[in-house]
Structure 1
Amino acid sequence: MSCVSMFLSRVRRPGLHAAAPTMRLAAMCVALASAAPVMAADAPAPLVFSPYAFETQAHGTIAAEAAYLEVPRRHGDPDGKRMRLRVVRLPATGGNGHTAPVVYLAGGPGGSGIGTARGPRWPVFDRVRRETDVLLLDQRGAGLSEPPPPCPHEHRFEDAQPMQRDTALAALQATAARCVAYWREAGVDLSAYTTAESAADLDDLRRALGVPKLSLWGMSYGTHLALATVRLHGAGLDRVVLMGTEGPDDTLKLPLAADALLGQLAAVAADAGFDDLTGSARRVLEALRQQPRQGRSGMHDGRQVTIGEFDAQLAIAVSLGQRPTQQWLPLVLREADRGNYDPLADIVLLLRAEFGQFTAMSLAMDVASGQSPQRRSLAEAQARQSMFGDALNFPFPMIGDGLGLVDLGESFRGPLRSDVPVLFVSGTLDGRTPPANAEALRPGFSDNRSLLVRGASHGNELWLGQAAIADSIAGFLAGQPVNDAVLDVSPPVFARSVSELLDSRPK
């Protein structure tokens, strides 16, 4: 898989197969540890850890431990079927021995906590385990925790036709319905895949560890799960770190956030010699509105694709999410503004492939979290004002209508108040979970801190842009004094030529 596809897959597309590439990257072969014996839900079995060689991608092999946690498939039916969740423990290398163990919660939904720690973000995990044990959990249905079978149905968009919003939505709705029918026929209980069930898993994990409290450390969707756990099982929590915050009613993004981020990125790009990025986007969209154009993808063996306005709205909105695609976007738009749509064709073809597929866990999770009527109304109103329409959320929320999946209801999405200490970590160039999400939640937490990372997107620089980021996270989780702070990371380095753009992508 190319790094472009990997990065696009990490940009959360609610309920789509986008989480699956991340899972495939993370879900390497792992030796199975003995499963814990089945016990009643009110008495989870103690975890039985076995020695485990945790292989990172670039930092060698770490001596760790692994186990399986047995949980009810549905916590409301404790005597019913059960499932196993994979847990890897990174034993503390320092600390005072009294700090609550920390559970890392990956994004997606559908990302692998185990896989995340293997990759470039390992130094932050290594820093945190100097203070306490770190537990890497693959959430139910994700990574190495018994994911449901992949859906055999997918929609393939025709290269010769531009993507039309309404036509594409109807096709994806039909595909999602076929996938839901397939999973139900295969015996998959889609009602088991909700954030509330995963929050109950975390409380079971705490009790199976035999500790009075856990701390949670989440990224993106992982913050959504952490916040649900604060609401439902807050008495068992010591501290919470939220990186790229997705609040209880933030599953549906606000479309004008993409317009605002484009303006912020335009200011950074202007300093690098790309004048009027916002104007380029407007002109490209207007040109494609008048007449679709052809582009030939250098990443897909020269495949030619017809690009329409909605293709470009999707491509720009998604590319704003993370630094790798942010760094290509000014050049992509400049070339399209000059009539060369080949670089844009690369992104369009990648997105079309992602949009045509669904996974059970991520689809069910996102539909269950849903949105309040007020949030949906606001998103629809902003879509009418945004230059990208509803591309930031497409095909949500419409895709969930009529599938018969669980909705967790307004009590799940309502205001949240807690005295659990929370550290909010936000990036100013985050196109998926903007700092405004964290700011809206802060008043509900009597003990909260904010770390704002200027120049960071929804990606690695939010973790690795400065060593002080990891120090703040580790210190907060260890109960050390941490004040509100603002840090700066290096600005994006933009591709300046088509040849440079192509050279930056793996062959």
Structure 2
Amino acid sequence: MFRNPCPASRHRCPRLPWTGRLVALCIALAAAPAFAGDAPAGLVFVPYAMKTQSHGTIAAEEAFLEVPRRHSEPDGPRIRLRVVRLPTTGGDGRAAPVVYLAGGPGGSGFGAALGPRWPVFDRVRRETDVLLLDQRGTDFSEMPPECSHTHRFDDARPLQRETALAALRGTAAKCITEWRKGGVDLGAYTSAESADDIDDLRRAMGLPRVSLWGMSYGTHLALATIRRHGPRLERVVLMGTEGPDDTIKLPLAADALLADLAIVAAAQGFEDLQGSVRRVLQALRRHPVEAGSALHGGRKVVFGEYDAQIAIANALGRRSTQQMLPLLFRQAEAGDYSLLAGFVLTMREDLGTFRAMPLAMDIASGQSPGRRARVEAQARDSVFGDALNFPFPELADGLGLTDLGESFRGPLHSDLPVLFISGTLDGRTPPANAQALLPAFSKGQQMVIRGASHDNELWLGNTQIAENIAGFLGGRSINEAVLEVPAPVFITRMGER
């Protein structure tokens, strides 16, 4: 799965990887509770001037927490995690502090609050303290070095699935060797270890409980924390839910989203978007094309059906790219492939680069045999084939990285109050993910945001979104189960805003 760029982070955000090889020892560790050990040393917060992108400078506090690199080895090497606290500006003092968990994996909890989403963080801190955690391996929390190996696809040739998979697996293997030679313990980057970090943070602050607030992969981490440390949690908000066995996506979810977008597009004069997609893909299957991209300085690329399937399947997820798709296919049917060429070049560049933390995290989470079989079956019926997940899950096979096993991915039941927030046009974490989990949460609630994708409108498209998040974390019930945001407005010509 591709993780689109995180605009607030100072580092390039990762793409989406998944599965891995079974390691029996790690299965046992994933199933076991965290090592109790001695309580971590108390955190010392110091004043910190947090400069947001457009909301001024916020008076915050900063601290660094040392945690075991492997919680099963409490006396072994340690990792230093950064935490920025937004002190509460209101509330009655009864709500537990909230730990914010960014997506990715690889996103920055701190960076997420610097950009356009700041008003939601500001509203939540009127209820209680907000703790912006940079998870292990991200930003200021000892991020492993960039890999010197990348794969550059030949611009003169269309992407061939098996050849591309072999090349990417080779590049990933070189990166793994390089990281290990540099002393990077890739087995330390799992959601189970990060979940134990959260409990270490709670203990270091002397708190009986904390609440969690996660977005995208952050919800996956929050669910792992519920499994491992549920009694020490108070309330949980999950925005764009990625369940324990949702790391690889269901291909037909992309087809369903395309159908929904086609209805919106038809109302704006773009007729038969689904038919247009099929026709363009069929044409590219017969005859790959060469086109230049203005977004890449006129650079030309030869591409075919599989290039387009990967690029479009992943562009479906976010409003910022959804808005361009009807024009892209209208132009392509008229013989102008320049906009699609830009999508393909961006996709290829992203595919060829690996980062240690996101690669190891997603492979460790993996997928159950049943999930993999379901994904493979759906790929045979999807207009995008298996492109939505490429190059996973096959890329992970044989790389020798940790797999947390079925105890990590299995059914999860909880009596915690949990709020699931889903956007109906979210192609990264569709509402079906939350709906599948909800019956096992006796105090679970779902809030559906009609018209929201996996983008900023899931946060900011309706003022009641922030009110419901803050109220829920403050101990109150949500006001509405369904909210509306404005429908996407599709671009009709390049240069339009």
Matched, 1:291 2:291: no
TM-score, structure 2 normalization: 0.94
Structure 1 residue 300 displacement after superposition = 1.0
Separation in 1 of the partners of 2:493 and 2:14?
A: 25
- Give the structure 2 partner of residue 280 of structure 1: 276
Equivalent in 148, 153, 156 of residue 157 of structure 1: 153
Equivalent in 188, 194, 197 of residue 192 of structure 1: 188
Separation in 2 of the partners of 1:159 and 1:322?
A: 26
Which amino acid in 2 is paired with 1:295?
Answer: A
Structure 1 residue 269 displacement after superposition = 0.5
Equivalent in 385, 390, 413 of residue 417 of structure 1: 413
Note the 1:245-324 alignment, pairs <5 A.
Answer: 245-324=241-320
Which amino acid in 1 is paired with 2:180?
Answer: R
Matched, 1:362 2:365: no
Which amino acid in 1 is paired with 2:339?
Answer: P
- Give the structure 2 partner of residue 487 of structure 1: 483
Flag the 1:195–1:201 CA change in 2: closer, same or farther, 3 A.
Answer: same
| Kept after mapping to 2: 8 A contact 1:41/1:79 | no
Separation in 2 of the partners of 1:295 and 1:272?
A: 27
Matched, 1:446 2:449: no
Which runs of 5 or more structure 2 residues have no equivalent in the other structure? 20-35
Matched, 1:82 2:85: no
SS at match of 2:99: strand
Equivalent in 11, 14, 18 of residue 17 of structure 2: 14
Separation in 2 of the partners of 1:69 and 1:230?
A: 21
Which amino acid in 2 is paired with 1:324?
Answer: S
Separation in 1 of the partners of 2:172 and 2:14?
A: 20
| Kept after mapping to 1: 8 A contact 2:239/2:422 | yes
Note the 1:213-228 alignment, pairs <5 A.
Answer: 213-228=209-224
SS at match of 2:324: helix
Note the 1:165-180 alignment, pairs <5 A.
Answer: 165-180=161-176
Structure 1 residue 98 displacement after superposition = 1.5
**What's the RMSD between the two structures over aligned residues?**
1.4
SS at match of 1:118: coil
Structure 1 residue 154 displacement after superposition = 0.4
Matched, 1:135 2:138: no
Separation in 1 of the partners of 2:298 and 2:465?
A: 42
Matched, 1:404 2:407: no
Flag the 1:69–1:13 CA change in 2: closer, same or farther, 3 A.
Answer: same
Structure 1 residue 103 displacement after superposition = 0.4
Separation in 2 of the partners of 1:154 and 1:412?
A: 31
Separation in 2 of the partners of 1:270 and 1:149?
A: 47
Q: How many pairs are equivalent?
A: 474
Tell me whether 351-360 or 41-50 shows the greater mean CA deviation.
41-50
| Kept after mapping to 2: 8 A contact 1:163/1:310 | yes
Which amino acid in 2 is paired with 1:99?
Answer: A
- Give the structure 2 partner of residue 379 of structure 1: 375
Deviation per CA, 1:266-323: give whole Å up to 9, x if none: 0001001100000010000000000101111001111111111011001110110100
| Kept after mapping to 1: 8 A contact 2:259/2:274 | yes
Structure 1 residue 449 displacement after superposition = 1.1
- Give the structure 2 partner of residue 231 of structure 1: 227
Separation in 2 of the partners of 1:90 and 1:498?
A: 41
Deviation per CA, 1:343-370: give whole Å up to 9, x if none: 1111111111110000000000000000
Flag the 1:261–1:436 CA change in 2: closer, same or farther, 3 A.
Answer: same
Flag the 1:489–1:134 CA change in 2: closer, same or farther, 3 A.
Answer: same
Equivalent in 328, 343, 347 of residue 347 of structure 1: 343
Which amino acid in 2 is paired with 1:450?
Answer: Q
Which amino acid in 1 is paired with 2:219?
Answer: T
Structure 1 residue 83 displacement after superposition = 0.6
Separation in 2 of the partners of 1:483 and 1:374?
A: 37
Separation in 2 of the partners of 1:457 and 1:143?
A: 26
Structure 1 residue 481 displacement after superposition = 2.1
Which runs of 5 or more structure 1 residues have no equivalent in the other structure? 17-39
| Kept after mapping to 1: 8 A contact 2:61/2:86 | yes
Separation in 1 of the partners of 2:176 and 2:221?
A: 23
Larger relative contact order (C-alpha < 8 A, sep ≥ 6)?
Answer: 2
Deviation per CA, 1:359-402: give whole Å up to 9, x if none: 00000000000000000000001111111111111111111111
Separation in 2 of the partners of 1:479 and 1:99?
A: 7
Separation in 2 of the partners of 1:85 and 1:212?
A: 21
Identity of aligned residues (%): 68
Separation in 2 of the partners of 1:396 and 1:159?
A: 22
- Give the structure 2 partner of residue 204 of structure 1: 200
Separation in 2 of the partners of 1:430 and 1:10?
A: 19
Matched, 1:429 2:425: yes
